[in-house]
Amino acid sequence: MEHSVSYVGTYKDAFGVVDIIIHNTFEKLSTKIGAVEFEGSEFDALAIIDKQLHSVQQLERFTLSQTEILGTDNFVEEICNCTFNVIIPQFIINSVIQEEIVVNMNIEYVLGDKRPIHLGGGLEFEKIYLSFQIFDESFKSEGGYFESIFEDIQSQFNGRYALKNCFGCLYSDYSIYGQGALGSMLCFVRQKEAYLKVKDKSEYMEKLTDDYDIVQEIFLCNKFQARRKGTGYRG
C-alpha cells in the first residue's frame, strides 16, 4: 500500500452536506471543508490548521470541542457534532483459495457534540459504522474502536476470509494502556521473533522493547503475514 492515499467522502453537520477528500499519510489525516483545512491523527482529532486565517463566517458552521493538553493549561480544539462518510479500499484474503479481493469499506464516523471543558472536554459520544460487500454477501459492524469492529468482522468471516491490513497482521498488537479509535496499533516486525514468543500480558511487558512503529489498523506493508489466533497480547 502507498504511504499516502486519498479517500472520497462527505462531511455532514447542521448546515448540510459537503463533498470532501480525506488525505491519509498513515500518520495524519487531513481534509478541506469549504475554505477551512483540518488535520489530525484520527477523525476525532481533526483540528483547524490555522484558525487565524479564517473569518467568523467561514468558521461559524463548525463545532469545536476543547480538550485539555495533559500537564498544561492549554487545550486543543477539534471538530465535532458532525458525521464523516468515507470509502476506504481494503484487501481481503479469500482463505479457501488464497486469493486477494479489494473491497470498498463504507465508514460512517459520527462525532457527538462537545462536552464542557469543566467536565473534562472531549465528546458526548463517538460511533463508527462500517459496511462492505464481498460479492453478494454483506458485512456490517459498529462500535467506538476499529479494534472491536474488525474483531467482529473477522468473526463474521468464520474462517472464509481474513483482513489483509495491520489489524490482520501477525506482528501487530495494542498497548496495555489502551488505544485510540484509529491509528495506535503497535508494529513489532523489527522484533518479531520475540513477539511471537509472547503468550500473555506479563511476557508482553517483559520480552519486548520500545523498538516498534505506531500504525493505523488500515495500513498495509510488504512485511505482512496473516495473523494466527492466540498470538501475542491480544490473542
* pLDDT at site 180: 93
Q: Which residues of the chain have pLDDT under 50?
A: 1
* pLDDT at site 2: 54
Residue 50, judged by CB atoms within 10 A of its CB (0-12, 13-18, 19+), counts as exposed
* pLDDT at site 147: 97
* pLDDT at site 187: 98
Q: How many residues does the chain have?
A: 235
* pLDDT at site 1: 47
Whether 74 and 153 have beta carbons less than 8 Å apart is answered as no
Q: How far apart are the first and last CA of the chain?
A: 25
pLDDT tens digit sequence for 197-206: 999 999 999 9
Distant-in-sequence, close-in-space partners of 67: CB < 8 Å, separation ≥ 6: 75, 76, 78, 121, 122
Report pTM.
0.93
**Secondary structure of the chain in HEC code, one letter for each residue:** CCCCEEEEEEEEECCEEEEEEEEECCCCEEEEECCEEEEECCHHHCEECCHHHCCHHHHCCCEEEEEECCCCCCEEEEEECEEEEEEEEEEEEECCCCEEEEEEEEEEEEECCECCHHHCCCECCEEEEEEEEECCEEEEEEECCHHHHHHHHHHHHCCCEEEECCCCECCEECCCCCCCCCCCEEECHHHHHHHCCCCCHHHHHHHCCCCCEEECCCCCCCCCCECCCCCCCCC
The sign of the torsion formed by the CA atoms of 93, 97, 103, 106 equals negative
